[in-house]
Amino acid sequence: MLHIKPIISSLLHSKSGPFLLFLQMMLSVAIIANASSIINQRLELMDRESGVDETKVLTFRVSSFSENTDHEAQNKRDQQMLRDLPNVINVSSTNMFPLSGGGWSTGLLDKPDPNAEGVKRTPQAAQYMGNEHFLDTLGLTLVEGRNFYPEEILHEHGYANQKVIVSKPLADEYWGEESPIGKILYHGTEYPIEVIGVVDKLQGAWVDSDFLDNSFIFNIDFGSQSAGGMYFVRANEEHIPELKQQIETAFLAEDPDRVVIEFLTVRESRDISYQNDALMVYILSIVIVLLLLVSSLGLAGMVMFNVQRRTKQIGTRRALGARKRDIINQFLVENYVICLAAGVCGGLLAVQLGKQLMQHYSLPALDLTYPLVTIAGLFIVTSIAVFLPARKAATISPAIATRSV
């Protein structure tokens, strides 16, 4: 028998120690449950796939200071020069990089006149510009329609014959189960933009945006438009470090009045964009470990103190026939009583704390699974912390314990 009533009476007889442990465990449950929820949310955000073969795609910028440069011709020479470098698999110009924190976005219309009655606007989406090599260079998966043909590539923005490839999340959100292929959209002009393809996934530049998975890819070779070029280069991961130096050397050899900067793989851009989330996960994980450690040490200390304080009582019980298992169970039940009370109160406090975080920091509501798992974990950890000193108490000889009685 567990003899709950005398154990509770014993705890109430010496209130300060058990009460402090109760407070500590209650706060631990509330904090650990919400911290675990935040960690899981951050990990889910960081695990979202960009759609890009991140470790194999190198990005960089080129700025030219030469006057009277034919940008279209220069862009073609630059891309061919990149393709001729050893170990380069493919190359495309672009106007923005995925997960970089900066870029272009837009929403398109289903009518040329934005003020027309019943005009419908697509969801906001990242606005990429690339050529027929864009999909292969980034490793994107085409799930419907086709890629751009070379003869379809434009070298100016905002004119006729524009085509667009959309990401599947955008297509699903705007057209639902209807195929987007062949649909016509407008970008604030009379020129129609035909949807010709759908890629499985292509994220934009802003990891905190609500439209991260929505993207447009226009058939425009953006490197032809200005003195500032941006490029993707695809290569195997082991060749990326040497390519950075080779690319810079090749560009400066072709035109020394240029600056080649910001070499980053898409994977490195991801790490930079999510560095605050990674830091939060690291700090909260340390907090959880410390709270569990403090709770365990607190309980172990309380049991060891009780062993010394109740040595005669333990010896008397042993002399009256109590088994070692009964002594161990007594301390374990004391732990379970404190854990149960602290767990229930801590769970309620965790829910209230979760509501405040949801209201003030726009965090999702706390799933009740987190308090329940935290309470279960606390039972396990504290049981281990209590068992060792309780087993030591059970080995006290009745003769020694009652010697001074």
The domain boundary residue, chosen from 192, 224, 256: 256
The number of distinct structural domains making up the chain is 2
Condensed to tens digits (0 to 9), the pLDDT of residues 236-245 reads 999 999 999 9
The domain boundary residue, chosen from 229, 256, 283: 256
Angle between helices 324-361 and 275-309 (to 10 degrees): 150
**Cα–Cα distance for residue pair 170/214, rounded to 1 Å:** 5
- Judge if 282 and 338 occupy the same domain: yes
- Judge if 202 and 96 occupy the same domain: yes
Compute φ and ψ for 160, nearest 5 degrees. Answer: -70, 170
Q: Evaluate whether residue 57 is within a structural domain.
A: no
End-to-end CA distance of the chain: 27
Q: Evaluate whether residue 261 is within a structural domain.
A: no
Q: Does residue 42 surpass a pLDDT of 50?
A: yes
Condensed to tens digits (0 to 9), the pLDDT of residues 340-372 reads 888 899 889 988 888 887 777 767 778 889 889
Q: Evaluate whether residue 302 is within a structural domain.
A: yes
Q: Evaluate whether residue 54 is within a structural domain.
A: no
- Judge if 248 and 192 occupy the same domain: yes
Q: Evaluate whether residue 55 is within a structural domain.
A: no
- Judge if 171 and 247 occupy the same domain: yes
Q: Does residue 288 surpass a pLDDT of 60?
A: yes
- Judge if 91 and 35 occupy the same domain: no
Question: Which of 158-167, 173-182, 292-301, 372-381 has the largest mean confidence?
Answer: 173-182
Compute φ and ψ for 403, nearest 5 degrees. Answer: -60, -35
Higher pLDDT, 282 or 339: 282
